[in-house]
Amino acid sequence: MDPRAEQTLVSGQFGTVTNKRVIYNRSKGWFSGGSREDIPLKHVTSVRLETTRHLVWGLLLLLFGIGLLQAAGLGLILVALGVLFMWGSPTVVVNTAGRDLNAAQGWPWQRDAALQFVEAVRHQLIAE
């Protein structure tokens, strides 16, 4: 195999990391797929993983949901949203030379995929 050939290291919900570039889903959110951004690895300066939690909103939704459980099915939806807000969502931010890219946010259960993506980018940055 040609050592100069592009090899995919990680591919998932947040994007793809190869030995030559990062294919990143910028502006990705819970209900939006974001847009594809192709970044040569030599332009990436850093990558980070953050966890975004909304404790106050989560607690309020949880309390209102518990109060409405007897009245309607709306209470169950509010409880579920409250739990998701308090659980926290992984957010991946890739910084490049010259500009910061928008963050890509995933569902709380996608934290392992986000960590795998971030670690693959970091490994490639160190390998260069």
Q: Determine how many CB atoms are found less than 10 A away from the CB of residue 33.
A: 11
Residue 88's region, left for phi above 0, alpha for psi from -120 to 50, else beta, is left
Could you list the beta-strand ranges (E) of 2-43. 8-12, 15-18, 21-26, 35-40
pLDDT tens figures, 58-68: 999 999 998 88
Q: How many domains does the chain have?
A: 2
What is the pLDDT at residue 35?
78
What CATH code is carried by the domain that includes residue 37? 2.30.29.30
Domain match, 94 and 64 both:
no
Domain range spanning residue 124? Answer: 17-52+89-128
pLDDT tens figures, 28-85: 777 776 778 888 888 888 899 999 889 999 999 999 998 888 777 888 889 999 999 9
Domain membership of residue 10 (yes or no) is no
**Which residue is listed with tokens 């030599």?**
42
What is the pLDDT at residue 122?
93
Domain match, 94 and 47 both:
yes
What residues contact residue 91 under an 8 Å CB cut-off, 6+ apart? 49, 50, 51, 52, 103, 104, 105, 106, 114
Residue 119: which pLDDT band, with cuts at 50, 70 and 90? very high
pLDDT reading at 1 higher than 70:
no
- What integer is the mean pLDDT of 16-33? 82
Q: What is the pTM of this model?
A: 0.81
Domain membership of residue 58 (yes or no) is yes
